[in-house]
Structures are given as C-alpha cells and as structure tokens.
Amino acid sequence: MAEDSNSPDAGVGDPLDPAAVFSSLGNETRLSIVSALHEEAPDTPVQFSALYDRIDLDDSAQFNYHLKKLVPHFVTKTGDGYDLTAAGRRLARAVAAGTYTESPTVEPFDVDGACYACGESRLRGEYAEERFLIDCDACGESILRVHVPPTVVRNRSPTELLDAFEQWSIAQIEQAIDGICPECGGTVDPRVQTEIDDRIPFDAVAEYGCTVCGRRAVMSFGSIAYRHPDVQGFHRRREASFSDRRLWEIGQYVGGEGVTVRSRDPWLVQVTFLADGDACHVEIDGDLEVKRVEIVSDGAPAPEEESD
C-alpha cells in the first residue's frame, strides 16, 4: 500500500533499482497482471477483457487503474491488446523468483518514550513482513501494529525510521481526513469499520476506502480526534501536554484508551483526553466527522476555551 507515485520511472533499462521496482509494483493486482501476461508467449497480446477475467478483482475501474500504472514501462498496449515489454518480462521472472519483492527486516530496537499502559520506558520496535510493531517490554502491551511500506523503512537507521514513520503516519491520516486517497489522490468514502484483526485493540475503527484504487486507509478514532484544532489547543494550554510526546505514547491514538462507542445506529464515538484535571471530549459520527468538542473542568464546562 501507499507506494510512492512520484518514484522515478522503474524498469527502463538495466540495472533495475529494487526500491523503485518495488514501489511501482507494490500492489497485488499489478503483480497479478504482470504474472498473467508472463504466462503468455512473448509477442502474444492479451485483450483487456481476457486479461481482466484472469485477475481476481471485481471492479473493472480499479483493474484499469492498476493496468495503466504498468504502461509503458512494464506493459505495452497495441491494437491487439496488452503485452509485457522486455523490462516487464525480466521483471516478471525476477518477481517470480522473489528477487525484488523481498521486504526489508529491522531487528528489534529501543524506541523513545513511555508505554501508555504501564508508564515504563521500555518500548521496543521491529519491522517485519511490512509491518511496523512497537511493544512494551515491561507489561507486554502491543502498542502499535501498522502496515508500513518498505519504502519508509529502506536505507534508514532505527532513529530515522521512527521519525519517518511519525511523519508518514500523520500525512496518511491528514490526507484521508481531507478526503484524498493517500495512495492515488482519488476521492474516499468514510465509514465505520467493525471487522477488525483480533490483535488490534478497538471495537471499531475509521476507514476511508478509495473509490479509484480501492486502497482502504484505516485509523483510530483517537487519531482523528487528536488532529482536531480544538484538541490541539486543549493540549497546548496544559502542562501535561501531549505536544512533546511521540505518537505511540498517546493511548487514544494507538490504543483504545478514552474511546467509547456511545451509539451504533447512528454511529457516535466519543474520545476523551485528560490533562491537568481537565477533560476534552470529542464526538465523531458515522461519516467520521468531528461533531462536537467539549472541554470540562472539574465537571463544569470551561467556556473560555470553547470559542478558540
């Protein structure tokens, strides 16, 4: 997911840059298209409809989108249909051999910050099988488990990886919230998703499905709430501020802390942040819109903050 669409053209001439190749082909549908064309003899073009039939995808617009991404570097289009270029064939052989699709692995390393669950500063990071994980060595809490593309990880030290991950994660969330697919720039449909991997500690998450490429950007309600300007203001004005914390230290952001499903029909999810004895309650509806931010001090609303 989230391959870099601005990456340099890959596959033109040799040697191929593995990172660029992965970036361009880091998608199951595109790999399937290359493989399907590779099964045909060279110079035997395949018609669009015949090619589409061979790919496990129900949406012809999405299929067309991914096919176009392969033209002209890996796939050529003639009057008779689609065929692999010479670079495409070399690539198909290499992909079949696993040469360029191997994902980097980063051995466990120390991560700055404290565990939101137990408060201990014994966090450990790891990257394997395209997932970035942060676990707490003290209490065993699984803090973070996120699909991160290898391009974010490659050629970076663990410290650089942590910085890059934070920036990448914020950019993904902000784009999706603004209605822009982080992968292709297409429009997205916001919805509440309840079918979630067992290892993720949420009853429901926010999902922005792209209407163009099909990418589903999934994030916590806490991350949507945290980004809201009124919530940022709440934290800025208090000593127990989040502004000097890393993303993975914020329980609302990475865990289910302070997140309550208030209603399922229609959806209403509340996220609460606490600081200096005050509470900031954020309500998010089924369209993933922030409907209300209320700041409460000692059980009473704090009106001076609401105009901000």
Which residues of this chain interact with Zn ion, rule CB under 5 A?
115, 117-118, 136, 138-139, 141, 181, 183-184, 186, 210, 212-213, 215
- The Cα–Cα gap between 275 and 41 comes to 66
27's tokens: 């998608």
Minimum CB distance to Zn ion smaller for 111 or for 146 = 111
Q: How far is the CB of 302 from Zn ion (least distance, A)?
A: 31
Minimum CB distance to Zn ion smaller for 84 or for 213 = 213
209's tokens: 């499905």
User: Residue 236, exposed/middle/buried by CB under 10 A (0-12, 13-18, 19+)?
Assistant: exposed
- The Cα–Cα gap between 107 and 195 comes to 30
Minimum CB distance to Zn ion smaller for 54 or for 216 = 216
Which of the 8 DSSP states describes residue 249? G
Minimum CB distance to Zn ion smaller for 118 or for 274 = 118
- The Cα–Cα gap between 17 and 26 comes to 14
Q: How far is the CB of 214 from Zn ion (least distance, A)?
A: 7
Radius of gyration of the chain (CA): 23
Q: How far is the CB of 26 from Zn ion (least distance, A)?
A: 14
Minimum CB distance to Zn ion smaller for 135 or for 230 = 135
194's tokens: 């309840």
Q: How far is the CB of 28 from Zn ion (least distance, A)?
A: 14
Q: How far is the CB of 181 from Zn ion (least distance, A)?
A: 3
